[in-house]
Structure formats: C-alpha cells, structure tokens
Structure 1
Amino acid sequence: MQGAGKSAIRKVAVLLVFVLALSGCDRSTPLLVVKAVAAGVPSLAPFFDEGSGLGHDAAIRPQTVQGSLQQGDTPGLYGGTRQPTICDVKRLKAFLTDPGNHQKAQAWATALNITTDEIPGYLDRLTPVLLRHDTLVQNHDYKKGKAVPFNSLLQAGIAVLVDEQGLPAVKCSCGNPLRPFTGDTNRISVKFGDGNKKWQGYQRSSVVAVQPAPRKMQRLVLVDVGDPALGIDRPVGTTGAHDKTFDTRKERAVPRLTGTTFGAASRRLADAGLAVGYDGTARPPDDARVTASDPPAGSRLGFGAYVTLSVAEGADHGSTAPPPPSTSGPSTAPPSSPPSSRSAPASPSSPSSPSSSGSEPSSSAPASSAPPSSKAPPSSAPASSPSTTRAPASSAPVTSSAPPPGKPATSSAPPPGATSAPATSGPASSAPAPSGPVSSGPASIAIT
C-alpha cells in the first residue's frame, strides 16, 4: 500500500511539472536586448565624426502613445524645426562619395541594401526630422570595415533622415545607417550604458517602432517641437527651405463614412487631417464595410484626432501588418518586416482650440489607419492621450491604411487650410509634452 501511494504521488508530481511547463511556454521566450541611445551622446563606433556637427539633436520629452506600432506616413509622427540645420545632408553626401572613404561608403550602402553609385540619389530622397517618440530601430556601428547591426532605442529628440515611406534611414549626428526594428516590441529589454543614462520622461508606453507607409509620400506633416500649435508641411527630399506652416488647432469635420469600405474611409479621414481608429487588436481589411463612426459625421475635431470605425462582423481577418513597401529597385526605400505587437498606435500630441470656421478635407493626403481610438477634450496645452469626442489639435500618431495597388504617391495628410507662406527660420527649441494615461503598453519590457 505504501509503495502504491508513493507511485501515485510521483505520477501526480510529473503531471504537475508537465502542466506548468506547457503553461509557461509563452513566458519562456527570452527578451530581446536593445541598446539605449540618448540624444546628444556620441556613438562609440560612428561612420562619421560627430564632433563635426553633421547633425543636431534637440531636447524633447517623449510623447505617450497607446500602442507600439506607428506607420511612416502618420501626420505628426515626427517633429521639425524652422531652423533647417538639424541634418547636413550635403556634407554627408560629400563624405560618402569621397574616394578616400570608399570602404565606409561600401559598408554604409550595404546596410541599406543599395549600391555606392546609388548613394547620392538615395540621400536626395531623404528628409530630416526629429523623433517625437523613443523609437526602436536596427542601428549600425562601423567596426573593422563593416556595418555591424544592433537593435537600439533612439531617444525622442534625436535628428534622423527618413525615407519616402517614413522609415528612419540615417542617424544624423553620426551618419549611422538605420533599418526597421523587426522584433516583438512587447518583448524587449532596454539596456542603458556607455554614457546613455536613463533619460527623463522615459516610459515603456512611449516606445514605438515604425512601419513603412504603403506608398511613397510627397510630403511629411510635422509638429513644430518649439510650438506644438504650429504644424510644418515639409516636402519629401527637402531640408526646410520649402516648408509651409499651419495651425494644428484648426478644427475639421468628420466626413460621412458609413457604407464605405474601411480602406476608403481611412483615406478620407487622412484627407481631412484626422486619424482612423478601430476596436480590437487587428486592423480590419480594406474591403471591410464601415457600419458606424465614433464620433459621428459632422463632429469637429483637431488635427490628428481619432475617429473610431466599426465594421461588419466577420470582416476582421486578424492581420495588422501593412502591405510590403512599394519599391522600383534597390535605390528606393529599403524593405522592412514590421515588428509584431498586440497594441496599436495613438495620435500625435499638440494643443487644440475651437475654431469658428471649419476646413474642408484636403485631397493630397495618403490613407491613414490606426489602432483602437481614444479621444480627448480640446485644451490650450499639449495633450497626448485623447479620452472624449473632442480631441487635441494634434494627438499621438496613428498608422496608415494601405491604398489600392497602383495609386499615385500622395502626401502624409497635409492639414486643411495650411498657409502658403514659407516658414521663417529660427532656433530650434524643445516643447515637452505631458504624458497621459494609455490604454495599452508593451507586455514585457525590462530595463537594465
């Protein structure tokens, strides 16, 4: 009897171990280590001498977002300044095309999947911006004649060059090439070291990864980091000389969307300078039929505010990944694999105020899509977490929906009523934006 009892206990113990092992499979996935890169801190192995002033970072408090994925054509995803000197593209081009730097140029081009002959044209299509969020990328050091990739988290305020699909492509201060982060944004461990101390305002809800826009853009719609009430409309491939400014607080009406497809509704919202949101963790397919919008048609919202779309049941195919970036050869924006995440992005943050006159949707913006929506009341100060039907003038960025194949390139949601006068130059300044509550954040992020 005693032997039988011991045997039964052993069997139960083995069964418990087996059950625990099965239940812990997901948690056994190791965290991906990413190296923190703070604004203004020199790289240990740069492609370009950072002391020469190739790029200039700014002091920006990271914006809080609702999800970790952002799409490259999201209005307000990036910041700008009316001082067009955050990145000296001409000097970078001269350096990489100098025969004396051929080995570095070869390594640089290889990291971006282009040839050395294509470097000048590739750089001409890049646009300087400032990160408004702590952003995950695949960075590269220059060691022993080669570009050595490593995952890193770039602090908000770092100046980067982005490509025609809104992907960070170059870190301005050191010239290091950048590629999209392809890991799970919910399973990262941020390592602070080598002078990159944990920065003020860092929080896991501020960490984003950028997905490529579904089509090439003609312009980027930025938020002035010195004055969030001011927007900057910057043509792609320019450094600031052709900027136009607009008031991010000017309200616009929600168009009538019921009965249209999700893809068409996304594009109409982007044309109006608004962001598309949806319920659930997966973006509905473009052909899903819209049954309602929240807030409803006719509501007046600030730039970048959410409009949540409901679609017919069964239309959600459970896919959040955008279509592959359109390219015509190695000289176009490099392809990428979008990072995986269970949460969706939010809209950019900037102050909003009621406007006595509405603005009509612009016809030159790309489609825009986003994750679960949230809306906030208008305020005279920057806000980052919408919660009611009135949203801030420029709330946290949203992702874009893919247009039908063959559509011409369009801009990233230039605001209705943008002024035609070019922006005046002035020193760059920082505009910390308060962080607000978020609906979701990375599932597991460790800080070392």
Structure 2
Amino acid sequence: MVKAVAAGVPSLAPFFDESGGLGHDAVVRSQAVQQAVHGSLQQGDTPGLYGGTRKPTICDVKQLKAFLTDPVNRQKAQAWATALDITTAGIPEYLDRLTPVLLRHDTLVQNHDYKKRKAVPYNSLLQAGIAVLVDEQGLPAVKCSCGNPLRPFTDGTNRISVKFEDGNRKWRGYQPSSVVAVRPAPRSMERLALVDVDDPGRGIDRPVGTTGGHDQTFDTRKQRAVPDLAGTTFGDASRRLADKGLAVGYDGKERPPDDARVTASDPPTGTELGFGEYVTLSVAGGTPGGTSGGRSGGTSEGSTTPPAPPSTSGPPSTAPPSSPASPSSPSSPSSPSSPSSPSSPSSPSSPSSPSAPSSSGAGPSSSPPTSSAPPSSKAPPSSEPPGSPPTTARSSPAGGPVTSSAPPPSAPVTTSAPPPETVSAPATSSPATSEPPASSAPATGEPALSGPASIVIT
C-alpha cells in the first residue's frame, strides 16, 4: 500500500509548519519513462531525472537548518536525524551537501510523519513537481515543503497499490507506467544535470550542495554521439555517458558490477541521441561488488596469491616420477595460459626476484617444474620463488644442478634445504656434484631437474 502525496497538498503530520514557506512545489506534468533500466528503477545520476528552475529558493535550506538546530526543536531534530541515520550534530553538514530539485516523475519514496515524538515511516508516491532535496548520489532525502525526511523505496515498483486520500486526489496525467523509484548513483556526484521545468529546451548544470546561485545552462536539444565504450569497465562507461548527458541502461535485473567489461552498446558507437536518452550496455565478467577498473573482485591481476607448495614429507624417491607428470601447478600465475602472466610473472611470490622474468618466458614443455613447485622445496616464497627451478634448467649444465638462488654445491643449503633425512639419502653415495647429476642426467635434463630431491639437496 502506497499513499499518494500531491504537489501543494499539506502533510497531516509534518516535521515543519508548511505555512513558513520552507519549500515551493511547481506544476510539472509527469514525464513518461523513456526507457526503463529495469521496471521503473532510475539511477540517481541519470541526466534529466530531475528538474530545476531559475526562480530563487524552491527549498530554503538555511531556514530548515536553523529550525533543526534550534534547541527548542531538539526532539524533532533527534527523530529527523534518526530517520536519516545520522546524528543531530551532523545535521548542518548533512544539509550542506543536499541539492534542491523538482521531481519530473511521480516518484516512490519512504516518507515519514512526525507522530508521538517519533519519525513514523510509510511508503508514498510523490507527484511530479514536488520540491525535494537530493543527496550526493541522487536520492531524495527531504521533502522541502514540510521538511519530512525521505529514504529510498525498496519494494517492487510493479506490486504497488496507490491510495489517494486526505485531499490527495488522483492528479491529471497519473499513469502507473510513469512511476519511478530511484536507486543511488554508483559514485558521489559533483554536479546534477537538470531540465528547466519552465523551458525543457534548457538544461541546468547545478553543483551539488548549491541552491541555484552557481547554475550554468546548456542546450538539451543538442544531439550527443554515443562514445566508444567497448573494453572499458561498466563503472567508467556509466560516468562517461552521464558526463555527455546520456543515461546508462543494462540487461538483466541487477546493475552489473563496476569492474565488468563492456562488450557492446545499443545504440552503437557514433549514434546521435537526445539529452537523457538511454544507451544499453552489454558486459562480460566482473565480480559483484567489484570496483571500477577491476581493482577488486578476484580479477587475474598480479596480486593473485599462489597456492601453497606441496608437502615435503614424502620420500625423495617418489618425487622424480610425479613431478614431470604434473607440470600443472594449475594456479600458477606464471603459466603462459594466464592472460596476466606476461605483465606480472613474479607476482605470486617475490616480485623482486631476478629469476621470475625468465621463468615466464618458458613454454609449458620446456620447463615442467615451472608451475609446480618441487615437493621438497618448502622454503618461504620470499627466499625460494616458484620460478627458480626453470632458471636452473636453462642456465645450469647437467653436471652442475646449482640453482641461481642456491649457494654453490660446497656450501650448505640453508634456505631451501629439505629435512636432514632427505639430504642423507642421495648424498651418502658420493660428494654431491658428480654422483647425483650423473645418475639423473642421462635420463634427459628435465627429469633430473624435476626431481626436486636431487636438485635441492645438491
């Protein structure tokens, strides 16, 4: 159930005495929704969603601030602030960030009456022409004439039943299909692109937090070309369209995440459109809640954390046959199949490691150990990057399997040495450098290097 609120009709239980001239509604015919994003949902930064006028003071913010900060009205101020989820001390700063506009659509909101010293919420439909204050994301926040706090309407717009009573008769031009509910813009805006309700051919560019003294005008009849948005993020594309005076549309029930990539637009690039017309974007990928530019949400950037290396508790003798069979270490970002690997080969563990760039250039067949860290390599990523073994395969001769990050054979291995029992097994037969390589080299260099025990032990 939704209560209709007509322009110019006083509220029965207002926060502010409406005879004081706090706000002034206008006569505005409700605009048909050009193209619904989903149902009747409109984004708060949609160009032309709201109207304006060059007449001074459609909403007296200074008077409202003085009323709510007067100690005499402390009880009302407390209820008002609670309804908007702010503190009474934060009221002046909050009001300074609001911007007066006129509704151009019959708009659904959660309204509030002041009863028994409390803000009592109820769903209402505000008629086009009502003056409201909107916040930095384009959400109606205050009904100007009575000072009632407003919150977003959260129910489905196609399941409402509008009730006209208490002097709020069904107004001329009311159409259920023209009813809208506003969703917050994905960013805090700096300016609002309004349409002059007295001259629709004139647009008003109003800085957020101002009441009209800094307005600039523009021609709403000027055609605007759809920019090339393919490859950009949905968040960036939305901003670019809004800056050009065009509205963003999308397929599906939910707004795509900001980091989703735009694949196409309808109409296509270069199409001339009027002010406030919609461009529907097709997107791919993205993570719910992801931010613009893909900086969050698990994208395949170099920040991906590598998997933990396999356990070294198994006997060294079982490592050689298993290592070549699984060069998959599938999650290694240095794998050639990962699109981000050329730009960030060393990101999984040690970006400063000199051996990482060389490992990213190796193909899957030339460096089996690249992706799968040797089972016996249990050293921390900072001292023994997963990319080290492949470097050994290309730079060290078969007779001297000394990795670039390990000390010479004569020096004891401290950073990546396996447990003592693992060292003693291969090392007891001979003094290291000649015997182990000789036993593994004939079987081709790859198996010898993929046998983690023999490489690291040496």
- The TM-score normalised by the length of structure 1 is 0.61
Q: Distance in 2 between matches of 1:146 and 1:264?
A: 41
User: Aligned to 2:199, which of 227, 236, 245?
Assistant: 227
- For 1:104-119, list aligned pairs within 5 A: 104-119=76-91
Q: Does the residue aligned with 2:177 lie in a helix, a strand or coil? A: helix
- Greater relative contact order structure (CA < 8 Å, 6+ sep): 1
Change in CA separation of 1:322 and 1:205 when aligned onto 2, cut-off 3 Å: farther
| Aligned 8 A contact 2:229 2:237 in 1 | yes
Q: Does the residue aligned with 2:186 lie in a helix, a strand or coil? A: coil
- For 1:66-145, list aligned pairs within 5 A: 66=36, 67-145=39-117
Look up the equivalent residue of 2:144 and give its one-letter code: C
User: Aligned to 2:176, which of 204, 207, 211?
Assistant: 204
Change in CA separation of 1:278 and 1:118 when aligned onto 2, cut-off 3 Å: closer
Q: Distance in 1 between matches of 2:290 and 2:131?
A: 26
Match of 1:45 in 2: 13
- 1:197 to partner: Cα distance: 0.5
- 1:86 to partner: Cα distance: 0.7
Q: Is 1:218 the equivalent of 2:186?
A: no
- 1:190 to partner: Cα distance: 0.7
Match of 1:236 in 2: 208
Q: Distance in 1 between matches of 2:226 and 2:151?
A: 35
Structure exhibiting the larger radius of gyration computed from Cα positions: 2
- 1:205 to partner: Cα distance: 1.0
Q: Does the residue aligned with 2:160 lie in a helix, a strand or coil? A: strand
Q: Does the residue aligned with 2:31 lie in a helix, a strand or coil? A: coil
**For 1:59-84, what per-residue CA distance to the aligned partner results, in whole angstroms no more than 9, with x for missing partners?**
11111113311111111111000012
Look up the equivalent residue of 2:208 and give its one-letter code: V
User: Aligned to 1:305, which of 277, 285, 298?
Assistant: 277
Match of 1:358 in 2: none
Match of 2:234 in 1: 262
| Aligned 8 A contact 2:258 2:290 in 1 | no
- For 1:274-285, list aligned pairs within 5 A: 274-285=246-257
- 1:316 to partner: Cα distance: 8.5
- For 1:143-222, list aligned pairs within 5 A: 143-222=115-194
- 1:142 to partner: Cα distance: 0.9
Q: Distance in 2 between matches of 1:103 and 1:220?
A: 33
| Aligned 8 A contact 1:221 1:232 in 2 | yes
Change in CA separation of 1:149 and 1:322 when aligned onto 2, cut-off 3 Å: farther
Match of 2:361 in 1: none
- 1:136 to partner: Cα distance: 0.9
Give % identity. Answer: 82
- 1:147 to partner: Cα distance: 1.1
Look up the equivalent residue of 1:35 and give its one-letter code: K
**For 1:350-394, what per-residue CA distance to the aligned partner results, in whole angstroms no more than 9, with x for missing partners?**
xxxxxxxxxxxxxxxxxxxxxxxxxxxxxxxxxxxxxxxxxxxxx
Match of 1:343 in 2: none
Change in CA separation of 1:147 and 1:280 when aligned onto 2, cut-off 3 Å: closer
| Aligned 8 A contact 2:125 2:162 in 1 | yes
- 1:218 to partner: Cα distance: 1.2
User: Aligned to 1:59, which of 17, 23, 27?
Assistant: 27
- 1:322 to partner: Cα distance: 10
Look up the equivalent residue of 2:14 and give its one-letter code: P
What is the number of residues matched between the two proteins?
287
Look up the equivalent residue of 1:50 and give its one-letter code: E
Q: Distance in 2 between matches of 1:262 and 1:110?
A: 34
Q: Distance in 1 between matches of 2:290 and 2:104?
A: 22
Q: Any unmatched runs of 5+ in structure 1?
A: 1-32, 324-448
- The TM-score normalised by the length of structure 2 is 0.60
Across the aligned residues of Structure 1 and Structure 2, the Cα RMSD in angstroms comes to: 2.0
Q: Distance in 2 between matches of 1:274 and 1:135?
A: 21
Tell me which moved more, 36-45 or 103-112: 103-112
Q: Is 1:296 the equivalent of 2:264?
A: no
Q: Does the residue aligned with 2:85 lie in a helix, a strand or coil? A: coil
Q: Distance in 1 between matches of 2:128 and 2:10?
A: 15
| Aligned 8 A contact 2:225 2:270 in 1 | yes
Change in CA separation of 1:174 and 1:247 when aligned onto 2, cut-off 3 Å: same
Q: Does the residue aligned with 1:245 lie in a helix, a strand or coil? A: strand
Q: Distance in 1 between matches of 2:248 and 2:140?
A: 23
Look up the equivalent residue of 2:249 and give its one-letter code: G
Q: Distance in 1 between matches of 2:7 and 2:192?
A: 22
Q: Distance in 2 between matches of 1:310 and 1:97?
A: 48
Q: Does the residue aligned with 1:186 lie in a helix, a strand or coil? A: helix
Q: Distance in 2 between matches of 1:145 and 1:53?
A: 23
| Aligned 8 A contact 1:129 1:161 in 2 | yes
Q: Does the residue aligned with 1:193 lie in a helix, a strand or coil? A: coil
Write out the 4+ residue segments of structure 1 that deviate beyond 4 Å after TM superposition: none
